[in-house]
Chain A
Amino acid sequence: GAVVSQHPSWVICKSGTSVKIECRSLDFQATTMFWYRQFPKQSLMLMATSNEGSKATYEQGVEKDKFLINHASLTLSTLTVTSAHPEDSSFYICSANRDREGNTIYFGEGSWLTVV
C-alpha cells in the first residue's frame, strides 16, 4: 500500500482563492519532503524542499509567497497555492525519503489542480 499519501487528488478552485495540498508519510518519519510540479506532457520540476521545523528551500524561479510550504510535523508537509490563477493549474506531487541515504524515495499519488 501507499507509504506517502497526498490529498486531495483532484481540486477545482476559482481564480483568486487559495488551495492547500497535504502530503503525509504514513509509516515513517520524514524530516525532508519535496514538492514537484508537472505541466501537461512535460517533466517534473522540483519546486521546493520542505524541511521539518524550518523554512522551506525554494528552487530558483519559484515564488515563495505564491507557494507556501509548511512542514509542521515529521509526517506532514502542506503546499498552499495562494491567490490561484489558471496558469497555476498543474499536477503537484510530493516525495519523501524513507532512509537516511536518500535512495528510498516514495511519491504521493499527486494532486491535479484546476483553477477556473
Chain B
Amino acid sequence: GNSVTQMEGPVTLSEEAFLTINCTYTATGYPSLFWYVQYPGEGLQLLLKATKADDKGSNKGFEATYRKETTSFHLEKGSVQVSDSAVYFCALIGSSNTGKLIFGQGTTLQVKP
C-alpha cells in the first residue's frame, strides 16, 4: 500500500541556517505530494504541493521537488526563522485520487535565535 517516510526529528537549527527535511514515498502510479505544517496548538495548514513528476512546489521560502526517479519530495528552505518552528508533515494522495491523505510521521523543527 501507499506510505510516506520522513526523517526523524527533532531537527534543531540556528536562525538563518539551511533546512532540509527528507521525505520518501511508496505508491503505485502517480500520487500527488504535499507538505503540511502544524504550528504549536494549531491545526494543519497546507504549505506546498506538487501533482506531477518534476513539479516544484513553493511557498513562504520553502520548496520541494517531486522526484519520481527517487520517489522523494524533500522540503528545503534556504534561511529558516524562529517562526518556522513547527511540525512538518509530508503526505500523499494516491493516483486513485479519493482525497485520502497518507501522512508521514512528522518532523519537528526547532529554530533557535
- Shortest distance between the CB of A111 and any CB in chain B (Å): 9
**Contact at B99–A107, with CB atoms within 8 Å?**
no
Chain A interfacial residues counted at CB < 8 A: 22
* Chain A nearest CB, measured from B61 CB (Å): 22
A-B contact count (CB 8 A): 58
Q: How far is the CA of A36 from the CA of B34 in the complex (A)?
A: 16
- Please state if A107 and B44 are interface contacts (CB–CB under 8 Å): yes
A49 to chain B, nearest CB (A): 7
Asked if B105 is an interface residue, CB under 8 A from chain A, the answer is yes
Chain A: CB-nearest residue to B93: A102
Contact B103 A44 (CB under 8 A): yes
Q: Nearest Cβ in chain A — how far from B43, in angstroms? A: 4
Q: How far apart sit A42 and B36, CA to CA, in the bound complex (Å)?
A: 14
For residue A91, which residue of chain B has the nearest CB? B43
A-binding residues in B (CB < 8 A): 32, 34, 36, 42-46, 49, 51, 89, 93, 97-106
A67 contacts chain B at the CB level, 8 A cutoff: no
| Contact indicator A49/B51 (Cβ below 8 Å) | no
A98 to chain B, nearest CB (A): 10
Contact, CB under 8 Å: A46 / B99: no
Say yes or no: is A95 at the interface (Cβ < 8 Å to chain B). yes
Interface residues, chain A, with chain B CB atoms under 8 Å away:
6, 32, 34, 36, 42-46, 49, 93, 95, 97, 101-103, 105-110
- Bound: A49/B101 CA distance, A: 11
Most buried by B among A46, A102, A106: A102
- Closest A residue to B6 using CB positions: A43
A residues within 8 A CB of B46? Answer: 105-107
> Which one of A43, A46, A93 contacts B105 once the chains associate, using CB atoms below 8 Å?
A43
Who on chain B is nearest to A97 by CB?
Answer: B99
**Judging by beta carbons under 8 Å apart, are A107 and B93 in contact?**
no
Contact assessment for A110 and B106 in the assembled complex, using a CB-CB cutoff below 8 Å: no
* Chain A residue contacts of B49, Cβ below 8 A: 103
A6 proximity list for chain B (CB < 8 A):
43
State whether A95 touches B101 (Cβ < 8 A): yes
